[in-house]
Amino acid sequence: MMRNLPFSCSRNVAALSKVHRLNKPGHDLVYAIEDPAERRRKIVFLTPKGKRVAESLLAILED
């Protein structure tokens, strides 16, 4: 079983966000907001582009 360590999760979210680490362009598939109940935690959502990619992947899997 693979474990996602907190730093690897945050790096992956950064890579999928609009701006990657070190201000490099990201993929703009997700955005994260601070969890109001736990400031150390982020809540991650799909962007419109991310939703389109997810729908395309689901369509491929359903075929």
Residue 5, pLDDT score: 67
Question: pTM of whole model > 0.85?
Answer: no
Burial of 29 (0-12, 13-18, 19+ CB in 10 A): buried
Quick check: 62 and 45 in contact, CB under 8 A?
no
Provide the token pair at 53.
């990619």
The model's pLDDT over 46-58, given as tens digits with 9 standing for 90+, comes to 999 999 999 999 9
- Distances 48 to 3, 6, 55 between C-alpha atoms, Å: 29, 26, 11
8-36 confidence digits (pLDDT tens): 888 889 899 998 878 899 999 999 999 99
